[in-house]
């Protein structure tokens, strides 16, 4: 279940008002909420890298890798078709944030396309033993959105129906929708978009937003309060 966008806002306002640190407008909150969500989301990948270096446990709901994979699972997309730009150049789906495995389907099976850099591609073209084949295809990421596949031709050809990929997308943009009544902004669930993160991240979202708000409002005290609480939450995850 995702985190409710209004629940976080009300908790942020309650703490800020209690500490007499100033009011956070809906517009400010929307910007800070999206920044906070993305910071937490990006941290998952660093945490996974660290968790792989440590021993886990056999407890289903407390193994760190299992927990982190569960958090990322809603953003994973598999076997998504790619568009043909021209010849052996393919365009990534627009929602790609972190590209995973690329596949080429030769009509009978999916073949993994290995990623190489541009320098390797040049060497590959000049060395017969090193050159790619239809059974061992490779690709170079030429731009943020385009991949070039080798060999340059294949049967069946590179097309939307034959090249696909796995990738991770970003969380959806958070929106705190509201209507103005008597000069006050009142929450409107019908025009709002909740956080995409798991409900377990509610506390960290609150304190991340508060920390960012303290910087925007130039309230060092609020930053310190939020940082202390955020550090305590992080310590529980160690």
pLDDT in tens, 63-115: 788 889 999 999 999 999 998 877 899 999 999 999 999 999 999 999 999 99
Buried residues in 189-219 as b, exposed as e (16+ CB within 10 A): eeebebbbbeeebbbbbbbbbbbbbbeebeb
DSSP tally for the chain: helices H, then strands E: 6, 10
Segment 180-236, tens digit of pLDDT: 999 889 999 999 999 999 999 999 999 899 888 887 766 666 666 666 665 655 555
SS3 213: helix
Neighbours of 67 (CB within 10 A): 18
Burial (CB < 10 A; 0-12, 13-18, 19+), residue 101, is middle
SS3 168: strand
Q: Give the distance, in angstroms, between the CA of residue 106 and the centroid of all CA atoms in the same chain.
A: 31
Which pLDDT does position 6 carry in this prediction?
Answer: 96
Segment 137-148, tens digit of pLDDT: 999 999 999 999
Mean pLDDT for all residues in the chain: 86
**DSSP one-letter string for 48-93:** HHHHTTS---S-TTT-HHHHHHHHHGGGEEEEEE-EEEETTEEEPP
Q: Please give the C-alpha separations between residue 65 and each of 11, 48, 53, 96, 230, in angstroms, as whole numbers.
A: 30, 6, 11, 23, 21
Quick one: which of 68, 66, 92 has its CA closest to 80? 92
Q: Give the distance, in angstroms, between the CA of residue 41 and the centroid of all CA atoms in the same chain.
A: 6
- Give the H or E element holding residue 47: helix 26-51
Whole-model pTM: value is 0.83
Q: What angle do CA 98, 52, 201 make, to 5 degrees?
A: 65
């Amino acid at each position: 279940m995702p985190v409710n966008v209004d629940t976080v806002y009300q908790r942020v306002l309650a703490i800020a008002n209690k500490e007499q640190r100033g009011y956070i407008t809906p517009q400010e909150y929307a910007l800070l909420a999206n920044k906070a969500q993305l910071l937490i989301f990006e941290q998952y990948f660093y945490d996974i890298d660290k968790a792989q270096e440590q021993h886990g446990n056999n407890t289903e709901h407390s193994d760190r890798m299992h927990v982190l994979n569960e958090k990322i699972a809603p953003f994973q997309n598999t076997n998504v078709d790619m568009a043909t730009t021209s010849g052996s150049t393919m365009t990534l789906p627009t929602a790609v944030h972190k590209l995973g495995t690329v596949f080429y389907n030769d009509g009978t099976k999916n073949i993994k396309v290995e990623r190489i850099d541009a320098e390797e591609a040049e060497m590959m073209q000049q060395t017969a033993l090193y050159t790619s084949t239809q059974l061992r295809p490779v690709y170079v990421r030429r731009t943020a959105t385009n991949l070039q596949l080798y060999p340059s031709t294949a049967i069946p050809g590179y097309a939307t129906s034959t090249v696909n990929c796995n990738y991770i997308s970003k969380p959806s943009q958070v929106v705190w929708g509201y209507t103005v009544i008597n000069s006050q902004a009142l929450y409107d669930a019908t025009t709002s978009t909740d956080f995409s993160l798991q409900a377990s991240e509610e506390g960290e979202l609150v304190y991340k937003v508060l920390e960012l708000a303290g910087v925007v409002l130039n309230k060092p005290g609020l930053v310190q309060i939020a940082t202390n609480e955020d550090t305590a939450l992080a310590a529980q995850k160690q």
